[in-house]
Amino acid sequence: MNIRLKHLPLKNITVNSPYGKRNITVNDKSYWWHNGVDLKAPLNTPVYAVDEGKVMIATYNNSYGYYVVLYHGKYGTLYSHLRNYTVNSNDRVKAGDIIGYSGSSGDSTGPHLHFEIRLCKYENFWDRAQCDSTVFMNTVDPMLFIEDYLEKQKEITVKEAIPIVQSAAGLEDRTMDYIVNHYKYGDDLVKKLAKAII
Ligand SMILES: [Zn+2]
């Protein structure tokens, strides 16, 4: 798993319904495999691109509702049941860019974000060829990657963060020292910046 998210799809992550096998009926359609994870998201919560990439799809269909597909080079992500999207096909996005707002469009019983990760080339994005009990349409459990991201976030210390921010921003020692020691919440800021850079 050499893919790492650079941002979370939502600011706060709570799983409403996990990835994988299930048997549910929504609006008279039955689904035996859940291609993504349903994340708790009240109506109108900002939804973020998890990595830099290209907007492949920003449209509506009856199942996904308003949805966006991004491609990040080695993998793709899908964000659905949005209230609306704020990007267009062929746009470039950066990690952390807002791509839309959560909603309950399409086959959905209440506001949430259905988020998918597909590990494949874009031309195979909708491929069912690999369908078996564990792999369906090249999807994987997004929580593996989200948990990895959260774990990495926890680990960083101010001491580790300083050189990362310093080299990326080209700041002098005394500027870094001022930010960390004299600026209110400066140490938190430096840690956050470092996490955004790595
Ligand atoms: Zn879902």
Query: Ligand 1: distance of its center to the CA of 115 in Å?
Result: 7
CA–centroid distance, 172 to ligand 1, in Å, is 47
Handedness of CA 59, 63, 65, 71 (dihedral sign): negative
Amino acid at 75: Y
Q: What is the pTM of this model?
A: 0.76
Q: Among 74-78, 113-117, 125-129, 136-140, where is mean pLDDT lowest?
A: 125-129
What burial class does residue 34 get, using C-beta atoms within 10 Å of its C-beta: 0-12 exposed, 13-18 middle, 19+ buried?
A: buried
Going from the Cα of 33 to the center of ligand 1, the distance in angstroms, rounded, reads 10
Q: If you measure from the C-alpha of residue 195 to the centroid of ligand 1, how many angstroms do you get, rounded to a whole number?
A: 28
Q: Is the pLDDT score of 103 beyond 90? A: yes
Separation of 36 CA from ligand 1 center, angstroms?
Answer: 6
Which single residue is written with the structure tokens 């991201």? 149
Is residue 124 over pLDDT 90?
Answer: no
Measure 81 CA to ligand 1 centroid, in angstroms.
Answer: 9
How remote is the CA of residue 34 from the centroid of ligand 1, in Å?
A: 6
| All structural domains of the chain with their residue ranges | 15-151, 156-197
pLDDT confidence band for 1 (50 / 70 / 90):
low
How many Å lie between the centroid of ligand 1 and the Cα of residue 76?
16
Give pLDDT, residue 131.
46
Q: Are 161 and 193 in contact (CB under 8 A)?
A: yes
CATH class of this structure's domain 15-151: mainly beta
Residues ≥6 apart with Cβ < 8 Å to 1:
144, 145, 148
**Average pLDDT for the chain:** 90
- More confident position, 87 or 25: 87
Residue 190 Cα to ligand 1 midpoint, Å, equals: 35
Residue 9: other Cβ atoms inside 10 A: 24
Q: Give the Å distance between the CA of 58 and the centre of ligand 1.
A: 18
Q: Are 152 and 164 within 8 A, CB to CB?
A: no
110, 113, 118, 122 alpha-carbon torsion, rounded to 10°: 100
Average pLDDT over residues 165-182: 90
- Give the distance (Å) from ligand 1 centre to CA of residue 54: 22
User: What CA–CA distance (Å, rounded) separates 8 from 38?
Assistant: 14
Res. 137 pLDDT band, cuts 50 70 90: confident
Rounded to whole angstroms, the Cα distance separating 43 from 2 reads 33
From 180, 146, 175, 184, select the one nearest 160 (Cα to Cα).
180
pLDDT at res. 71 = 98
Backbone torsions φ then ψ of 132, nearest 5 degrees: -150, -160
